[in-house]
Each structure stands twice: as structure tokens, then as C-alpha cells.
Amino acid sequence: MLRPISTVPIFAVRGLLDGARSKGLATRVWLEQVLGQARISESLLHLEQSRVTVEQYIALFNAVKDSLDDECLGYLPGRPLRRGSFVLTVRSTLGARTLAAAARRMAEAFGLLQDDVRLVPIQDGALCGIALEMRVPSHAHADFLHGLLLRVFWRLLVWLHGGRLVPCGFDFAFDEPAHAAGYSRIFTGTLRFGQARSAVWFDGQAFVQPMRRDTAALDAFVRATPDNLVGPHLHHGRMSKSASVRAFLQQSCPEWPDLTATAERLRISASALQRHLATEGKSFQMLKDELRRDMAIVRLTSTDVSLAALAADLGFSDSTAFQRAFKSWTGSTPGVYRAQSR
């Protein structure tokens, strides 16, 4: 099976650096070091619509985390969250009988490691979840810090449950950011901004079910960290229609089948596929263009393929049409983007 091709917007890349910048730790030498380890050109940070690969994003997270010895990347004003803290937190859940008990253990363990933020199990009617209680005032980069912590603990709960736990929604204790459209590509369910505290909500029935994880499963989980915790996408046990469409189109490249052919391959009518995609906030053309954008970025930045050959592989009639589309996706022509990325 082909490895999915995906990219991350540059605002998320800047977020990995802003904690160190706010503390005055992002010296010129430090910035060159961490960007170099991730093979990210600094010039991309100044292109508003640029993107990097998921592999580069994870590499940069690791570089920043390791250089600061802080899994919160310098965002917390007090003591750092030392490397291994997230793994230690999930280890504390071994032996818990239910997901609710695991969530309580996770909150207690995290409380021993950190002073500036508490992890709190919460319940509201039929919904259960976890919330962040910040013990220090929110700062300019609260959106990234809250998003990072929610993503980590949400995925820990999903893994503890068995991989099929889908959030009902997320609350965010900050106003809707300029890049809020990107949140729906990371967080699922109903997203509410400007709330009293940041939280993730699940169907409460999942929290009374028995735990199914053991030490062997935990060891496998640890080997996949941090990609499984901080990567931009989390695939649940069952692939979404959007993911299925992207996977089929990637596998079919360079033929690029249309909506009807794709629906037939997925054993669903074209109209039903369109309805499913609409519920996920997508359309067939949007998915096709996002995949072509990601494939173009990966190949432009990692190979010397000609623009004409790349245009043909991506299903464009000629190089001019490809260059026009690429500029609409990234704000830059393919040639300039390739030069900037290197």
C-alpha cells in the first residue's frame, strides 16, 4: 500500500518555533540547526501559503523538542515538560480497568510533571472528556499550545480505547484564529472557539468500556511516538470517504479518474459519494487539488523532475495550466517555490 502523501501549512511550522522565540531562545545558530535537521529552508517561513511534508514537520518537532528538552517546545513559562513525559503519562494508565480510570491516572501523572497546566477529566450529560486548566494567563500563542496538548491527549485516549474512538467535538479557550479553516483538517466533530477552557469531548459510553492495552501494545505505541501524537492527521480504525478518495487517486496516478470512476471503484454511487464528502466538508475536486498540490510540493522539493513532466503526471493539459494552479495553491510559481525550498 502506498504511503499517503500529505503536507502541513507553514503556520503550523512557525508554531513549532514560536515557543522558543517567545523566550528568546531562537538564536540564529539555533534556528539554522533545527531547520537544517528537518531539511526546511528558512525562506519558506516567509511564504504565507507555503507548506512542508509531514516528515519534515515531525523532524522539526523532534529537533526543537530535543534541543530544548521540552515536549511543550518552550511554550510554558515554568518548568519544561522533559522529554519522555508524554510516554511516562501513558505508561501510568497500564492496569486501569476502564477508559475513565485511565483518564484519571493520566491526569494525575501529568500533574506530577507540570505546574502550569492541569489535565482534568470532565463530564456533561452523555459526554465525557478531558479539559486543560491553565494556571497562567493565556499568551499570544495560546492557540498552538492548546491545540498541541489537546491533540496529544486526544490521541492517547483514542489509542487506549483501541483506535476507534472518535471525538464529538472540541472547545478552544481562545478566539477563532485567522487559520481556523485548518482546524477542521486536524480536529473532528463540532469546533467551538472562545470557550472558558479547552477540551475534547467523547461519547460517555466509551469511558465505561474495559481497557484492552497491555505492555506489548504500549511498546509498539512508544516506537511510533511522536508521529502518532503530534502528526497533523489521525486515522481511525475505519478510513473516511475523503481518505479513501485520496488513496484511490494517489494509487491511480497519472490516470486521475473522475468522480464517476472513483465512486464505482469505492462501490458507491456518485451522488452518495458527493453527499458523504460534503458531510466531511470536502468535494471531489477539492480532494483532487489538495492531493495534486501535496504531490507537487513533495516532488518539487525532493527531485529534479521537469515542470512539463510533473504537469503531465498530475493530470494537467500542459505546463502553463499546472503553473497557474500551483500559484493559486501556494502563492508562488513552481520554479520560485523550488528555488525557495532549497
Bridge partners, residue 191, by sequence: 170
**For residue 245, what is its C-alpha cell?**
478518495
What domain range includes position 180? 85-230
Provide CB contacts within 8 A for 109, sequence distance 6+: 88, 89, 92
* Domain contains 77: no
* Domain contains 79: no
- Domain boundary at 209, 230, 251, which? 230
Residues 226 and 245 in one domain: no
* Domain contains 97: yes
For 94-113, give the DSSP string.
TT-SBHHHHHHHHHHHHHHH
Residues 142 and 193 in one domain: yes
In this structure, the strands spanning 169-171 and 190-192 are: parallel
Check residue 237 and give its pLDDT.
Answer: 47
Q: Torsion angle of alpha carbons 252, 255, 259, 263, nearest 10°? A: -40
* Domain contains 215: yes
Which residue's entry shows cell 540547526?
33
Is residue 162 within 8 A of residue 212, CB to CB? The reply is yes
Check residue 245 and give its pLDDT.
Answer: 94
- Domain boundary at 204, 230, 256, which? 230
Residues 208 and 295 in one domain: no
Exposure string over 291-310, b if 16+ CB within 10 A, otherwise e: bbbbbbbbbbbeeeeebeeb
Residues 337 and 314 in one domain: yes
Residue 170's H or E segment, with its range, is strand 169-171
Residues 292 and 171 in one domain: no
Structural domain count of the chain: 3
Residues 161 and 125 in one domain: yes
**For residue 50, what is its C-alpha cell?**
507555503
Question: Helix/strand/coil (H, E, C) string of 274-303?
Answer: HHHHHHCCCCHHHHHHHHHHHHHHHHHHHC
Check residue 236 and give its pLDDT.
Answer: 46
Residues 181 and 119 in one domain: yes
* Selection from 85, 88, 83 nearest residue 63 by Cα: 83
Q: Is the dihedral of CA 219, 224, 226, 232 positive or negative?
A: negative
Is residue 262 within 8 A of residue 248, CB to CB? The reply is yes
Check residue 185 and give its pLDDT.
Answer: 76
* Domain contains 155: yes
Q: Alpha helices, DSSP H only, in the chain?
A: 10-22, 28-38, 54-68, 85-91, 99-113, 142-161, 215-223, 227-230, 241-252, 259-265, 270-279, 284-302, 307-313, 319-330, 334-341
Check residue 238 and give its pLDDT.
Answer: 55
Residues 14 and 64 in one domain: yes
Check residue 210 and give its pLDDT.
Answer: 86
* Domain contains 78: no
Check residue 140 and give its pLDDT.
Answer: 63
Residues 222 and 253 in one domain: no
Residues 220 and 90 in one domain: yes
* Domain contains 236: no
Q: Is the dihedral of CA 101, 107, 111, 112 positive or negative?
A: positive
Residues 33 and 122 in one domain: no
Residues 263 and 324 in one domain: yes
Which residue's entry shows cell 534541543?
67
In this structure, the strands spanning 169-171 and 127-134 are: unpaired
* Domain contains 74: no
Exposure string over 38-54, b if 16+ CB within 10 A, otherwise e: bbbbeebbebeebbbbb
Check residue 268 and give its pLDDT.
Answer: 94
Which residues in the chain show pLDDT less than 50? 234-237
Is residue 266 within 8 A of residue 291, CB to CB? The reply is no
CATH code for the domain of 268: 1.10.10.60
**For residue 339, what is its C-alpha cell?**
528555488
Check residue 232 and give its pLDDT.
Answer: 61
- Domain boundary at 178, 208, 230, which? 230
For 175-187, give the DSSP string.
PPPTTGGGGGGTS
